[in-house]
Amino acid sequence: MTEIYHEPEITESINLCNKRGNLNPEAVGWSRHPYHHCNLRGHWPRKKRWNYWAVVSPTHLFSVTLSNVDYMGLPFVYLLDFETKNFAEKTLLKPFGAGCELLPEVDSDVVYDDPAMPISMVHTAQGIRLSVGCPDFEGKPLTADLLVHQPSGHETLNVVVPWSSNRFQFTSKQNTLPTEGTITWGDETIRFNAENTFACLDFGRGIWPFDCFWNWSSFSTRMPDGRTVGINLGAGWTDGTGMNENGICIDGKLTKLSEDVAFEYDPADFMAPWRLRTTATDRVDLTFTPFFERHAKTDALLIYSEVHQMIGKFNGQLHDGEGSPIYIDGAIGWAEDHHARW
């Protein structure tokens, strides 16, 4: 699709589903704050729920996720050192999602109590506290204690994508959230400063088809003039629905991009530069140069997932429709190619 299309804006609280568990047609749209109550029911085993957090500093990426895909729960954690390229990851498989409780609202707390990997994502007066413990993270104990700040009035990208009346997804993508804290892994302590560290939330609740594909890309950065700039771009999974997950966030104000984004890359060489561009205007024109490939594959009977998540640097320009172009120079983020049968 190469045109700009109409996406209705939601401005008040609304249920995602009707009483039968199918899509509430009035819920289709996007919002600047998470107004949707994701009252999923029925449709076993097609319900998919997750809270994914990624925290990026100039030196490290740390991610923690709790997900529940009805018949399996998948808590996982990973850590990347940009300089050494030292990477570690651990995933647990919990049949029927045992202990992986994920509530309908974006601002609900998440607590996963498993001695192998206790995880909490708890809202406090100061912000969202992310806490993780892992006694055996590639042979060394890992603990993370991070505070994600939520600036007053900060806008986020919240979208309902409707494949059909019984296949749909609500996503809340929240970036440019200043984050501070520490991660301790064995004898190493990694410190994160809120001036140059940002968190990104990917909150998902929906009823998915068995076979799907998506591209997803995001970065958050602080510009030389002090402004914060973040993008969220996607493709594949939203094609043909009349909705997308594309937006630019500048100093906490969201510009929704109601047009598609082309992800141009070589699936035979994911480390080669990518180009990401809007297809109807010049709002986005970015080159993404990876410096690390996270290749994660799960093949466990009913669930198959393979992701090439590329970590790298973005260069190029953005337009928010107001003022001069925004020139991006070396912003660290990711772009991914993900196939799932789940």
Tokens of 284: 């986005």
Domain of residue 203: give its range: 14-341
Q: Identify whether 290 is part of a domain.
A: yes
Q: How far apart are CA 136 and CA 90, in angstroms?
A: 9
pTM over cut 0.75: yes
pLDDT band at 1 (very low <50, low <70, confident <90, very high): low
Q: Identify whether 337 is part of a domain.
A: yes
* pLDDT value at residue 321: 86
pLDDT band at 303 (very low <50, low <70, confident <90, very high): confident
pLDDT band at 278 (very low <50, low <70, confident <90, very high): very high
Among residues of the chain, what percentage have pLDDT more than 90?
Answer: 95
Q: Identify whether 9 is part of a domain.
A: no
pLDDT band at 302 (very low <50, low <70, confident <90, very high): confident
* pLDDT value at residue 125: 95
pLDDT band at 137 (very low <50, low <70, confident <90, very high): very high
pLDDT in tens, 140-177: 999 999 999 999 999 999 999 999 999 999 999 999 99
pLDDT in tens, 4-14: 999 999 999 99
Q: Identify whether 6 is part of a domain.
A: no
As for how many domains the chain has, the answer is 1
User: Residue 23 gets which letter from DSSP?
Assistant: B
* pLDDT value at residue 146: 98
The residue type of 306 is E
Cα dihedral sign, 231-81-77-299 = positive
Q: Identify whether 51 is part of a domain.
A: yes
Q: Identify whether 2 is part of a domain.
A: no
Q: How far apart are CA 278 and CA 29, in angstroms?
A: 20
- If one counts every other C-beta atom within 10 angstroms of the C-beta of residue 22, the result is 17
Mean pLDDT of the chain: 97
Q: How far apart are CA 265 and CA 80, in angstroms?
A: 23
pLDDT band at 109 (very low <50, low <70, confident <90, very high): very high
* pLDDT value at residue 322: 86
Q: Identify whether 5 is part of a domain.
A: no
Q: Between residues 54 and 320, which one has the greater pLDDT? A: 54
Among 12-21, 47-56, 277-286, 293-302, where is mean pLDDT lowest? 293-302
Q: Identify whether 8 is part of a domain.
A: no
* pLDDT value at residue 22: 98
Taking alpha carbons only, the member of 94, 124, 125, 101 closest to residue 51 is: 101
313: Cα separation from own chain's centroid: 17
CA atoms within 13 Å, Cβ hemisphere of 213:
5
Q: How far apart are CA 2 and CA 69, in angstroms?
A: 33
Q: How far apart are CA 320 and CA 326, in angstroms?
A: 8
Whether 112 shows a pLDDT value over 90: the answer reads yes
Ordered DSSP codes for 159-204:
EEEEEETTEEEEEEEEEEEEEEEEEEETTEEEEE-TTT-EEEEEEE
Burial of 73 (0-12, 13-18, 19+ CB in 10 A): buried
pLDDT band at 2 (very low <50, low <70, confident <90, very high): confident
pLDDT band at 300 (very low <50, low <70, confident <90, very high): confident
pLDDT mean over 236-258: 97
pLDDT mean over 82-86: 98
What SS3 string covers 250-298?
A: ECCEEEECCCCEEEECCCCCCCCCEEEEECCCCCEEEEEEEEEEEEEEE
The residue type of 99 is G
